[in-house]
Chains A and B, each alone.
Chain A
Amino acid sequence: MKSTKMYQQKHAFETRYRWFTGSFAWILHRVSGLALVLYLLLHIYSVSFLAKGSEAFNAVMQAYASPAFKIGEVLVWAAFLYHALNGLRVVWMDLGKGSLFHKKLFAGVFVLAGLLFVAGAYGMLRHTFGW
């Protein structure tokens, strides 16, 4: 009993995260969620430059229009799409009958997220790269 507990403590990550469709979806949900929280905090801070007036705010927005930040922004779009669509899949499983076909739903999440990602990313990047 004691050794089981010690093993679990030492290998907390491996015993909790295993590789099946459902667990992969779950890990990706966690990782994308943590990334989105980090972005949210930074985002609220950036928008707060509105209170410092026109020049300060425009300087921040100009900095965020650089290619490096734009690519970061597109990654946030990807994280959101996965997290939102997989989140709806989780709700369907928890409160409906989604668990009967959760693997198909997971494939659907990826296809739909992929399509929306391409459309949104094109719209976000076309000014930056002159498409």
Chain B
Amino acid sequence: MSLRHPAGSGALLWFSQRVTGVVLVLLLAIHFALQHFLGTPSSGVLDYATVSARFANPLYVAFDLVFVVLALAHGLNGVWMVTEDFFHKPWQRLVIWSTLATVGVVLLALAVVTVVPLAGQA
């Protein structure tokens, strides 16, 4: 009898969670500094003018998209791993996986249509 989980051994997900995690620590540190300390308005509240000026730079858009992809992958993969401890029936796994995948795709699409049109605008 096979001991393999229907979705695979999970080793690849386990390892990718370590890799994305380490990268995300660095990206989030940069993100945090930019949103709260570096080049923010003196009121401390970010506004449209500041944010759209940043996204006019394609490098900023690229940074953000890489960040969004990694954060969604790491976050949703994490939720998947938690649910693996509580839900074992194949139909439950399928429902959970489909839901997480849909959430990921929809939010990634939302992020793309939000920031990509701002690139290159003055």
Residues of A whose CB lies within 8 Å of any CB of B are 12, 16, 30, 33-34, 36-37, 40-41, 44-45, 47-48, 50-51, 53-54, 57-58, 61-62, 65, 77, 80, 84, 87-88, 90-91, 94-95, 120, 123-124, 126-128
Closest to A13 in B: B86
| Contact A37:B48 (CB < 8 A) given known A47-B114, A84-B25 | no
Residues of A within 8 A of B46 (CB): 61
* A18 and B22 alpha carbons, distance in the complex (Å): 27
Point out the residue from A36, A40, A50, A77 that lies within 8 Å of B51, measured CB to CB: A50
The smallest C-beta distance from A108 to any residue of chain B, in angstroms, reads: 15
The smallest C-beta distance from B47 to any residue of chain A, in angstroms, reads: 5
* A47 and B64 alpha carbons, distance in the complex (Å): 12
Residues of B whose CB lies within 8 Å of any CB of A are 18, 21-22, 24-25, 28, 32, 36-37, 43-49, 51-52, 55, 68, 71-72, 75-76, 78-79, 82, 85-86, 103, 107, 110-111, 113-115, 117-118
Point out the residue from B18, B28, B103 that lies within 8 Å of A95, measured CB to CB: B18
Structural contact, A50 and B36, CB atoms closer than 8 A: no
| Contact A30:B110 (CB < 8 A) given known A61-B47, A91-B22, A120-B32 | no
Closest to B51 in A: A50
Closest to B108 in A: A44
Structural contact, A120 and B36, CB atoms closer than 8 A: yes
Closest to A31 in B: B82
* A37 and B78 alpha carbons, distance in the complex (Å): 9
Structural contact, A91 and B18, CB atoms closer than 8 A: yes
| Contact A127:B45 (CB < 8 A) given known A34-B82, A37-B76, A50-B114 | yes
